[in-house]
Structure 1
C-alpha cells in the first residue's frame, strides 16, 4: 500500500489477490527492478517515467513481456490512486 490508497485485501486488475499492507519481497537485492504490477510509467502524475528521468546511467530498458497501452496504465493509476 506504500504510496497508494489501497488498504486491506484487494484484487488487482489482473485478478491477483493481495494484502495491501503486506511487505513485498524484493525481486533482487543486487539489481533494481520495476515491479510491473505497480508501475504506471507515472501516467497521470508526470510527463515521463520518473525512474528514467533520474537514472544516472540510462539503464531503464523496456520489458517486451510487459507492454501496456496508455489506457491500461491510466486505469492502473486510477485503481491505485482513486480521487
Structure 2
C-alpha cells in the first residue's frame, strides 16, 4: 500500500481570476443563444455593395467611409454563380 507523500503547500497562492467574469458560469459564457449574429457590429460587410445606393445605405447604418474615387473596381458587377445541387 502506497502512502500519499505529497504535502499541501501552506503558502500556495490561488490562481488569479478575471474580475470581469466573476459571477458568470461557463455555461452562460458558452451559450450561443446570446449572440444575435456573427457579423453584427463587427464592421464587416458580407459582400461588396452592388450599387451606389446600397453603398450609401451601408454608410448610413455603419461608420464606413465613402470611397473617394469614382472609378468602379469591378466588384459591383460581380454575379453569383448558380449551382445545381439536385
Decide: shared fold, TM above 0.5. Answer: no
**TM-score, reference length from structure 1:** 0.27
Bigger Rg over Cα: 2
Structure with more relative contact order (C-alpha pairs < 8 Å, separation 6 or more): 1
Structure with higher helix content: 2
Between Structure 1 and Structure 2, which shows a larger proportion of strand residues?
Answer: 1
